[in-house]
Amino acid sequence: MNLRVRYQSLSASVLIAMFFVGFPAICFAQKPLAWKFPKDRVIDVVMEQDTKMKLTGLASTPIRDINTLQKTDLIWTVLEVRPEGLVTLQQAIRRIVLEMKSQNANFVVDTENDKPLAGVGEIMAKEIRSLAGSRFLVTTNKNGEVLDVKIPDDSSKRANPDGLAEAGLREIAVNSSLQFPNKLVSVGDTWQKQFELDMRTFGKLIVSTTYQYLGEELVAGQTLDKIRATTAMRASDPKDNSGLKLSQQESAGTIWFNNALGCIDHCEYKQEMSMEVQQAGQQIKQIVNQDLKLKFTLRP
């Protein structure tokens, strides 16, 4: 299997993983949960992904382990607040640092360092560097529902030719925001969000997330609202997803929301996934285990 096919296979796993996204409660009354987006607010978002992937079915290597540590720094900026309550956010990728370890490739890609790498490291470096500096404009409301996404031309041109990177930018923009129900919530209440993830080369997936409100918790002196998120995926049309087959998927996490500030404080997710990818005449099985953490920090 050539290096580009290997990269696309890895990219599919990482992109899917990026969208996975019982504790004692001390609050029992109904309450509203909502984002707050005052104009010119700036939020620094740090995403850390620890991914362990096992590939089987490669002609050159019966079993291949790939471990990656990735840190992505993003900046959210509130550009406009409309009278009807709609908000325009600019989300920008500031920096990506990826460390990869496998049997035949060990390298670190830092988008702030353009020193050339060798082999598959340079192939991935070019793709990752193209994402640094990308921006997208997101229209949302106080419930966190994303109503529109626009990718400026300069960011769109950074996408790789097969469209996977551009699709990833669009899906990140649509789904990185926690969406609340348009009603008061009580401990134990649940609500859902569903979206279609277009993997281009690998077909379309329906991603459904179920949220459950767990109540308030005191964390480092702050009263935060705890929400559990459980995600499931399925093929939008199995006939159109011949290149990608999910055989097992478990994804769950916890979100701590600061309702006083109207912003997520931090999130933690765990995901286990097994899938098969058919490309270049080879059937590749991938087993992915990932820990994902996000931290949101309001600038003064």
Residue 10 CA: distances (Å) to CA of 14, 65, 183, 277: 6, 12, 40, 10
Please tell me the distance from the alpha carbon of residue 273 to that of residue 219, in angstroms, as a whole number: 31
Say which DSSP state 46 is in: E
Flag whether pLDDT at 163 surpasses 60. Answer: no
Q: Tell me the two tokens of residue 253.
A: 């996490």
Minimum mean pLDDT among 60-74, 147-161, 175-189: which range? 147-161
Q: Classify burial at 103, counting beta carbons within 10 Å of its beta carbon; exposed 0-12, middle 13-18, buried 19 or more.
A: exposed
- Out of 149-153, 179-183, 257-261, the most confident range is 257-261
Single out the residue of 147, 144, 117 nearest to residue 129, CA to CA.
Answer: 117
Number of neighbours of residue 60 by Cβ within 10 angstroms: 7
The pLDDT, as a whole number, for residue 2 is 42
CB 50 within 8 A of CB 268: no
What is the structure's pLDDT at 157?
57
Query: Residue 171: is its pLDDT beyond 80?
Result: no
Q: Alpha carbon 117 to chain centroid distance? A: 26
DSSP reduced 3-state for 253: strand
pLDDT tens, 34-47? 999 999 999 999 99
Range of the domain at 81: 3-298
Tokens of 169: 């930018």
Angstrom distance (rounded) from CA 8 to CA 202 = 10
Residue 232 has pLDDT above 50, yes or no: yes
* pLDDT the model gives residue 58: 59
| Alpha-carbon dihedral sign for residues 124, 205, 289, 190 | positive
Q: Are strands 135-140 and 87-102 parallel, antiparallel or unpaired?
A: antiparallel
pLDDT at 286: 83
Say yes or no to pLDDT of 248 above 60: yes
Among 76, 120, 75, smallest CA distance to 98 is for 120
Collapsing DSSP to helix, strand or coil, 113 comes out as coil
pLDDT at 230: 92
Mean pLDDT, residues 82-102:
92
| Residues whose CB falls within 8 Å of the CB of residue 160, separated by 6 or more in sequence, listed in order | 127, 130, 166
Question: Residue 285 maps to which CATH number?
Answer: 2.30.230
pLDDT at 162 over 60: no
- Whole-number pLDDT of residue 279: 61
For the chain, the domain total comes to: 1
pTM recorded for the entire structure? 0.81
Three-state SS at 172: helix
Distance CA 53, CA 60 (A): 17
**Distances from the Cα of 188 to the Cα of 22, 125, 142, 178, 191, angstroms:** 10, 44, 22, 17, 10
pLDDT in the model for residue 191: 95
